[in-house]
Each structure stands twice: as structure tokens, then as C-alpha cells.
Structure 1
Amino acid sequence: MRFSAFDTSLWFATAVAPVATPALNERLEADVCVVGGGYTGLATALELACRGLNVVLLEAEEIGFGGSGRNAGHCTPTFHHHSIPQIRQMLGPVYGERLIARQTGANAVVAQYIARYNIDCEWQQNGYLMAAHTPSAMARLVLKTDEYNAVGQRIRLLDRDEACALTGSQRFHGGWFHPAAGHLNPLGYARGLARAVVQEGGRVFSRSAVCNVARQGGRWQVNTSNGSVLADKVIFATGAYSRLGWPGLDQTFRIQKVFVAATEPLPVSVRQQVLPLNTTTHDGRGDIFVYKYNAEGRIVASMFPMGRRGRDMAFTHQVMSERLHWLHPQIAKSVRWDYFWMGELDMQRKTIPRLYGLAPGVVALTGLAGRGVPTGSMLGGILADWATDVPAAELALNIEPIRAAPAYMSVAPSLALRYYRWRDNRAARHDGVELPPYH
């Protein structure tokens, strides 16, 4: 599969330089071979190296090439689609509670990595606002507040005046505020994790795509075009960018594209009025518009492609400019968008991470589905637990047999977006609220 261009993003232009990671051109031995140089693979390799294991990480392209280097940079330790009670219902009381604890505590893992290894990645922990785009939307946010606070979070429900003060927008009727959320330069964070792995004694190789994995005695030989790693255990952490390393792994999900764009740097006078505390903001609609600043004062905003949006660049810039101006008249409709890039999400039905047992001593994990920064970071601890022989019954994820994503997942995400847009438009009309441009 051809993936979207990587070097067109704001992050590629501004992230700190990567640590040297040569291509593998020799035969190595390791306790664990990790395949995939994104957050999940890097955090796993880091945890294993810190536990004293001999770990080798192989990346097909360069560190952070996948979603870890091209996402929007939001770090919000919540579940992307399901409520807390739904997570318990899907996974049962044991695995449900374990995953809830790991996910809601994931930002502490991110902050700890950044502090411990002095990772230069524009880290800002100024919170996340999910706005109420209509008065009736507040009812769902009240319920969401209660659910997350019941598991130890410190969520605040904001009224209209508080949401306006936090964002500078008169369009919001209140909001759900998570104070522990943050944002960062995602490629800078990935490169910092790679540097940390090397610092802890792990070996990291890029431009080293895995061709296949074969049993070699009681161990596994992970082969690339010019080298191999003989390991006791193998972990595939390739997510949406899975290729040929293990048969069927790339069929466990369906690709959903997302795009991110960054404006020109905005004047200080505007930034004092729009997101004055540099909070990540979600406009509350199911057809999402999420935005925040980078270190240069650019608005970085993300949306999903739909129809012409995401394909026709002039139209896409127009949609984003008018949405931003509608939310914040302080920003001119003529604002310039300097960067535009695409990424791929590994969507599957449950929209939570799935841990697959591929063979004795081999596992894979896919399904981050849009919560990559916190989720990928915390998954390293779970996979390191598996690799260090924590009993399966004690892991925070249940090990499942590999299975292909159902065929309907090829269309379900786009149909869901259209449903959410219809639902939100209906609610706005019912509440007598003005609809945004291109609704």
C-alpha cells in the first residue's frame, strides 16, 4: 500500500533532528525484537531496555513515519468513541477496569517520558475542551463528566461564560474540560523516544522493513532484506502502517484517512483572544474540528475527509478557513494555510487497542484509531509485561486470536461521520442555533 507523503507536514519541518538509526545489514540476536518505530513500538522498546532486556527495534521507513509522526499532536487520555460503561461492557469487569486505568493515566506516562529524557517536543499540558455546540449537547457532557470523575479524573463541566473565556469563541454553550490533557510536536516526541531507547541500551534500525518471520529452533528469526534478528519474542507494533511482516496483520483493520493543516503564525494580539491559554479545543461536533497552537503560534487543525473536503485543496482550505472564522471572527477568512498533510488510522470495530496472539512468542497490536499519543505511550508497558512473562490473565489487554476486520469497516467510518453531521445539524435546528459553514 502507498501511504500519504510524510515530509510535507509542519512537524517534519520543525521537529528536532533524529538520532542516528542505521539500516540493519547484519545478523543480530536479542531477547525481544520490536517491529515498528511509532509510539507503541518505541515505548515498548524503552520499557524493555529499562528492565534490562536486550531489545532490537526495526522500522521500515524512518522513526515516526506512521501516525506517530503525522498526527495532530493532541494528547487526551480518554476513549475515542466509547463511554466508560461501554468499555466495561465490551471487555468485562476485569479487562475493562485495567484498560480504563491505563488509558486514563496515559498522560502521566507521556509527561514522565518527556521529563526523564528531556524530550524537546513542544509539550504543553494546558488541558482539553470538548465544547457543547448546542445547549442540548450539555446533557451528554454532564454524563461524561460523571463517568470520568468516577474513575479518578478531575474533569470540570464549564458553563457558557467559562467556555467563552477559555476559547475566545461565542459559539460554545459550555464544555467538558480535562485539565491533564496536553499537546506536543508528535514527530519530536517520537524522535525523543527513539533517542531514549538508544540511551537505555536498545538498538534501533530504520529503513529496515521486515520481510517475514520464521521459526528457528526455539526462537524466531526476523528477516529484512539485508539482515536478521534472532529473538526469543517478537512484537509487531506497526498499526495502520502494517505491511508484509506477518500474514493477515494488515487485514485486522481498515484505513481511515485524516488530514491536518497549519495556518501561518498568528499575531500575538489574535492569540491573546483566541485560545488564550493554548488549550486544545474540540468544537463538539461528531464531524470533528479539533485545533490548538504549535510553538510558533500557528493554529493546527484536523478534520476527516468527506466528499471534496480533503481532495480538493482550494475547497478544503476554504472550508477550514470559514469554520475557523465562524468560531473565531478574530481570525480573518483570508488566513493562510502553510502546511497540509494526511495520515492513516487503523480503524476496527471496537476502536480500542487489540492485542493479537500470532504464534507462541509472537504478538501484534493494532487499533489505536485516533488516540495515538497517550495510548501508544501507555501500551509500551503492557507489551513489556507480556514480553517479561507476566501471565496472560494478569495483562491489561486480553490476548485474542488474529481476525480480519469485517467488510463493513471499509465504509462504516465514513457513514458514521455523515450520521454524526446529520444528528448535530438536527440538534442545532431544534435548539435554534446557527449552523457552521459547509454543514
Structure 2
Amino acid sequence: MQRSPLEPSLWYATAPPPPKTEPIDGDLTADVCVIGGGYTGLSTALHLAEQGVRVVLLEAKEIGFGASGRNAGHCTPTFHFYSIPTVRKMLGPVHGERLVQRQTNATNLAFDIIRRYGIDCEGVQNGYLMVAHAPSRVAVLEEKQRTYASAGKVTQLLDKAETERLTGSPRYYGAWLHPEGGHLNPLAYARGLARAVISKGGVVHTYSPVTGIEPAGNRWRVVTPTGRVTAEKVVCGTGAYTDGYWPGLDKTYTIMSVAILATQPLTDNIRKTVAPENHTVVETRDDPMIYKYNKDGRLVTSVFVEGRRGGDVEYTKKLTGEKLKWILPQLDEVDFQYYWTGDLDMQPKTFPRLFELAPGVVASLGYSGRGVPTGTMMGTVLSEWAMGVPKEELTLPLEPLAASPFYMKFVPQIFLSVTRARDQWVAKREGVNPPAY
């Protein structure tokens, strides 16, 4: 499958260079072979290498080429779609509670790694703001505070005035402040993780696409065009960029594409009023407006690709710019100077799945848009599996490989359209007059 290039992204233009790596050449042996140089694979390899496990990581392109290097850089220790009580119900009291604890602490894990290894990635952990786009949506924020308190998280509800001060927008009616949220340069973080893996003795080979995984006695042989890795166990962490190396694995999710945009650097005066404390801002809409700064004072936002929106670059810039200027009236000009796209792996549960492909081979994917903290967190789960933690003690249940339901080919796009119309209707009913979303 042809993938969009990484080079147009703001992150590619501003991230520190990656560590020196080369394609695999010849045959290697390892305790564990990890496939995928994104957060899942890199975190898995790092946690294994820290324990002295011999690990070889294979990446088809460059480190962070997939969603890990091109997302918007938000670090939100939350669930994407389902509430905490629903996650507990879906997974049961044991696995549900384990996942809740891991996911709600995932941003802390990522920033701990950043600090321990001195990763230069613009990492800022000073809070995440979910903002009510209509008066009735304040109740949604109140429920968030209650349910996250059940996971031990101390969060805060803000009134309209404080919300306006922290966002720079008069358009919101309250906010939920989660102090553990943050943001970063995602490609720089991925490159920093790779550097950390190598520093701990892990082996990283880039431009080494895996073409197959085959039995080798009581071990597994991971095959590439230029070399092979024979290992006791294999971890697959390629997400939406999975490409045919295990039959059916790329059928477990539906690809949704996202366009990410970055403005011109805002002036110091504007930055005193727009997100002055450098939070990430996310609306309560199901198809939300999101914004946060990079290190140069550019606002970074994103939209799901949906027909002309995302497909027509100039139209998408115009539509998104009009929304941003409505939200932030102090912006006289919005000049999107960077525009790039990426893919994410959507599946019905929206939280990670752990597939047992064969004895000694597992895959983790289906994150559905919560990649930075979730991928980092799943590295700890996968490393535990690789080091022999019994399956009944793992954070997630091991599932047999199963294709995504047929309806996932069209339901996510319908969901976007329907919920966007609903959110617009609610806003207008309550006296808000937003532009087209």
C-alpha cells in the first residue's frame, strides 16, 4: 500500500535527527524480535532491553514513519470513546480494572521515560483541557471528573471565565482540566525512544520490511528481503501500517485517515491570550476541534479525512481556518504552513487489542487514535508477555485473530457525519452559532 510521505510534516522539519541505523544484513538471533518502529514496538523493545533481554527491532521505513511520527502530539491519559465504567464492563472486573489503571497512568509513563533518557521532544506535561462546546455539555465534563476520580485521578472543573482565560476562547462554557495531560513532538519522541533502546543494548534495523514469520523448530524466523531474525518470541506492533507479513492481521481494523495542520508562529502578544499556559485544548464534540502549540508557537490541529475535507488541501485549510478564527477571534490571520496526513487503526472497541497469532507470536493494535500514551503503555504489557508473565495475569486478555466487522468499513464515517450534525444542532439550540464543522 502506498503511504503518504512523512517529510511534509512539521515534526520532520523540527525533530532532532534519528540515531544511526541500517537495514538488516544477514542472519541474527534474539530472545525477542519486535516488528514496528513506532511507540508500541519501541516501548516494548526498551522495556525488554532494560531487563537484559536480547531484542532486535525491525522497521520497514524510518523510525516513526507511521502514525507515531505524524500524529498531532497530544498526550491524553484518557479513553477515546468509551467511559471508564463501560471499559470495566466490556473487559470484566479484572482486565477492565487493569486496563483502566494502565491507560490512566500512561502519560505519566511516557514523561517518565522522557525524563530518564533525556529525550529532546518538546515534551510538556502541564495539563489537558476538555472544553464544553455548548452549555449542556458541562454535564459531560462533570461525569468525566466523577469517573476518573474512581481511577484515583484528581482533576478539576473550570467555570466559563477560567475556561476563557486558559483557552483564549469565549466560545466555551466550562472545562475539565486533567493535570497529567501534555503534548510533544511525536517524531522526536519516537526517535528518542529508538536512541534509548540502542543505549540499552537493543538492536534496531530500519528499512527492513518484514515479509513473513515462519516456524524455525521451536522458535520463529522473521524474514526480510536482506536478512532474518530467529527468536523465541515475536511481537507485532505495526498498527495501521501493518502490511501483509501475517495473514489477516491487516483485516482486524479499518483505516481512518487524519490531516494535521500547523499555523504560522503566533506573536508573543497573541500567545499571552491563546492557551497562555500551554495546555492542549480538545472540544466535547465527537468530531472535535483540537489545538496546542509546538515549540515555535505554531498552533497544531487536526481533522478526520472525510471526502473533500482532507482530500482537498486548500478547502481543508479554509474550513479549518474559519473554525479556528471563530473559536479564537483574536487571530487576524491563520496561515497553515504545514499540512500532512496519517492513518490510524479503528476497531469497534477503540482500546488496544492483544491478538495471539500463534504460540510465541502476539500483535497489539487497534488503538483508534490514542497513540502516544497508549502505545507507550502497551510496550509494558507486551514486554511482560515476552518475559513469560502468565496470560491470566496480563493487563489485556489474549484473543484469537478476528477480522473487523464489515460494518466498520462505513460506520465510522457515518458516525462522524451524524454526530457532527447532532453537535451543531445542540449548539444552535442552546444559542451558539458555530461555523460549519
Q: Same fold (TM over 0.5)?
A: yes
Aligned to 1:348: 347
CA contact 1:288–1:304 (8 Å) conserved in 2: no
Deviations for 1:379-438, whole angstroms, at most 9, x for unmatched residues? 11100110011000000010000000011111111111111112111211221222x221
Aligned to 1:309: 309
Alpha-carbon deviation of 1:307?
3.2
Determine whether 1:373 maps to 2:372. Answer: yes
Alpha-carbon deviation of 1:150?
1.4
Residues of 2 paired with 1:229 and 1:126: CA distance? Answer: 42
The 3-state SS of whatever aligns with 1:191 is helix
Q: Where does 1:23-422 land on structure 2 (aligned, <5 Å)?
A: 23-332=23-332, 334-422=333-421
The 3-state SS of whatever aligns with 2:261 is strand
Deviations for 1:211-232, whole angstroms, at most 9, x for unmatched residues? 1111111110101001000000
The 3-state SS of whatever aligns with 1:230 is strand
Residues of 2 paired with 1:437 and 1:21: CA distance? Answer: 47
Letter in 2 for 1:136: S
Alpha-carbon deviation of 1:331?
0.7
Residues of 2 paired with 1:85 and 1:55: CA distance? Answer: 37
The 3-state SS of whatever aligns with 1:335 is coil
Letter in 1 for 2:431: G
Deviations for 1:52-89, whole angstroms, at most 9, x for unmatched residues? 10000000000000000000000001000000011011
Residues of 2 paired with 1:230 and 1:150: CA distance? Answer: 44
Residues of 2 paired with 1:420 and 1:291: CA distance? Answer: 20
The 3-state SS of whatever aligns with 1:336 is coil
Gapped runs of 5+ residues in structure 1?
Answer: none
CA contact 1:255–1:344 (8 Å) conserved in 2: yes
Letter in 2 for 1:341: W
Residues of 1 paired with 2:334 and 2:212: CA distance? Answer: 48
Residues of 1 paired with 2:382 and 2:303: CA distance? Answer: 31
Letter in 2 for 1:370: G
Alpha-carbon deviation of 1:116?
0.7
The 3-state SS of whatever aligns with 2:334 is coil
The 3-state SS of whatever aligns with 2:197 is helix
Deviations for 1:281-337, whole angstroms, at most 9, x for unmatched residues? 0132221111100000000011112332111111111111111110111112x3211
Determine whether 1:437 maps to 2:435. Answer: yes
Residues of 2 paired with 1:29 and 1:207: CA distance? Answer: 19
Residues of 2 paired with 1:73 and 1:156: CA distance? Answer: 23
Gapped runs of 5+ residues in structure 2?
Answer: none
The 3-state SS of whatever aligns with 1:417 is helix
Residues of 1 paired with 2:233 and 2:287: CA distance? Answer: 41
Count of paired positions:
437
Letter in 2 for 1:110: A
CA contact 2:237–2:365 (8 Å) conserved in 1: yes
Residues of 1 paired with 2:263 and 2:20: CA distance? Answer: 31
The 3-state SS of whatever aligns with 1:310 is helix
Alpha-carbon deviation of 1:115?
0.6
Greater Cα offset, 279-288 or 62-71: 279-288
The 3-state SS of whatever aligns with 2:13 is helix
The 3-state SS of whatever aligns with 2:211 is strand
Determine whether 1:18 maps to 2:11. Answer: no
Alpha-carbon deviation of 1:4?
1.8
The 3-state SS of whatever aligns with 1:210 is coil
Deviations for 1:24-50, whole angstroms, at most 9, x for unmatched residues? 011000000000000000000000001
Name the % identity. 53
CA contact 2:211–2:245 (8 Å) conserved in 1: yes
The 3-state SS of whatever aligns with 1:7 is coil
Aligned to 1:4: 4
CA contact 2:256–2:305 (8 Å) conserved in 1: no
TM-score normalized with structure 1 length: 0.98
Deviations for 1:117-163, whole angstroms, at most 9, x for unmatched residues? 00000001121111101110111111111000111111111110110
CA contact 2:32–2:231 (8 Å) conserved in 1: yes
Residues of 1 paired with 2:430 and 2:226: CA distance? Answer: 63
The 3-state SS of whatever aligns with 2:311 is coil
Alpha-carbon deviation of 1:12?
0.5
Residues of 2 paired with 1:381 and 1:354: CA distance? Answer: 14
Residues of 1 paired with 2:155 and 2:356: CA distance? Answer: 36
